[in-house]
Structure formats: C-alpha cells, structure tokens
Structure 1
C-alpha cells in the first residue's frame, strides 16, 4: 500500500483513525463535517479547477497544482491552522521533489479564517517525512488498532460512534 497524504494527515491527528482508514474501515460518508469540508473546498475557489491541474504521484493526489508557478494549493475548512495540514502539504512537496520538481511551495488556505499559510520543504522536513513513512507503515500494517486518544477533536470525528460505542459518556 502506498502512503498517501491522507495517511500523513491522519498520522498527525489520530493514529487510531489512521489504522482504521488504512484497513478499510471508512466512516467519512456518514460525516457532516467531511461533507462540509468538501463543499467549502468546491465553493471557495470555483475558478480553481480551470486554472490549476489535478495530479497524482505514487497514489498521492494533489487537487490543485499550479504547474507554472510550482505551487500546491490545499483548502481546509478548519477554523484553526493545524500541523497536520502543513504536514500534508509538505508531503505533497516531498513527492513532487522525488519526481524531479524542485523548488515547489505550498499554500494551505483557510476560507473560514480568511487566512493562508505558506509551506516550504526544508531538508530537515525530508528526514522527518522518511520517519513518518516508517511509523505509518508500522501502524497501518500492525495487527492491533491503536487506542482511542480521548481528545476534544474526537467529538467531531466521523469515527466517534465507532470509537466510543462502549463508553457511557465522553
């Protein structure tokens, strides 16, 4: 199984969700939060699909890539800047570099915040990404699902009912 940008994102958010997702247990189709995120991505920049290219490298799909300026655009519905989003875009840049596209940068866009975060790939990021890939492989091929993380983010997660089915309250 190729490691995808979704795996990278989930690795930084919840290793349990990473394991479940990678092992075919998908709950996103039941989530209003996921549906809202897709809608924000589609409606915030309607002209984007005409101007930018969707590319796939080693199973990693970049929805909006400006090939002329070598810029990856990633839209997030979140109302906060998150490390997982930055990590995901760094992974895109890493995959581009592996395929001969040097000097690409990324922009994570938060329409709800009216904010943008510039993302660059540094050499120390490359080493970290290699470590992430090793850790992710260990998690997704592991026989045991990681434990529930009991975080405030759990309440909005599409896996909430799955993870807390035996819990009285959280």
Structure 2
C-alpha cells in the first residue's frame, strides 16, 4: 500500500475520514473549502512554477520542492489543523530521507494569514512515522468504517453530510 500525504493528514484528523478516503468515498470535488484550497494553491505564488519542481515518489506528490536547498513548500488555506499539516510535511521529509536526500526541511505557508512555519524532522519524528504508517494500515484495512468523532471540526469537513445524514 502506498501511503500519501492525505493519508497522513487524515490519520491525524479523523480515522473515519481516512477510511472513507482510502476506500474511494470522496465528496471533496463538491466541497467549497476544497475548491478554495485548490484555487489558493494555484494562485498564491504563481512565480514558483518556474523555480520549484513537482516530484512524485513512493506514492506521494510534492508540489513545490526546491532541489538546490532541499526545501519543501506546503501551502495550506488555514492553520486550524496545523498538527495534521505538520505531520504531513514531516512524512514528506521522511520519504525524501528514505531515498537519500540529506537534511531536507519544510516550510508550511498560510498565504491568507501571511504566516509561515519551518518544519524539520527530529529523531522522535523518525521513530513515530513508522507507527503512523502501521496505524494507517490498521484503519484502512478494517472491515467497517470507524465511528463519527463528533467534534466541532466536523462541520467544516467535506464528509459532514455523509457522517450526519441520519440526524
């Protein structure tokens, strides 16, 4: 199984969302926040396309990578789920290291609030990531979808109507 950045991100947000995504159930194409994020990604830094590279490796896709500085730029529309965004970027760094890139770093960028955060991979992160991978494998191969987590963040999720259709 190839674990993607979305797998890592969703694992840190909601196991139900992870299970649904992995099993081909998606409502992202109809959700306004997803469309807004996609548009932001395309328009926030248009000059970067000439300078940075898109790379695909081990099932992940990194949109903005500076191979000379070994820096991944990850653009997010909001810092509300920052822990999951950091985990996703740490996973990208982990995969690059696994393929021989020495000392990669990452920058989380939030253009709407004009903030950035540098992300590095620590030894503790390197030890935790295989546990994330095992946890993801366990969630996505479960025969049944995990239960609704019923948190305030659910209201902004593209799966909201799916999860709460009976209420």
TM class, shorter-length: over 0.9
Map of 1:27 onto structure 2? 27
CA distance in 2, matches of 1:81, 1:50: 29
Matched ranges for 1:21-170 at <5 A: 21-80=21-80, 82-167=82-167
CA distance in 2, matches of 1:79, 1:107: 13
Q: Deviations over 1:91-147 (max 9, x none)?
A: 000000000001000000001110001000011101110100000000001101111
SS of 1:126 mapped into structure 2: helix
Structure 1 gap ranges (5+): none
TM-score, with length taken from structure 1? 0.96
CA distance in 2, matches of 1:132, 1:91: 9
Aligned 8 A contact 1:80 1:113 in 2: no
Q: Tell me how far 1:79 sits from its aligned partner.
A: 4.6
Structure 2 gap ranges (5+): none
Cα 1:137–1:81 change in 2 (3 A) is closer
Q: Tell me how far 1:163 sits from its aligned partner.
A: 0.3
Map of 2:7 onto structure 1? 7
TM-score, with length taken from structure 2? 0.98
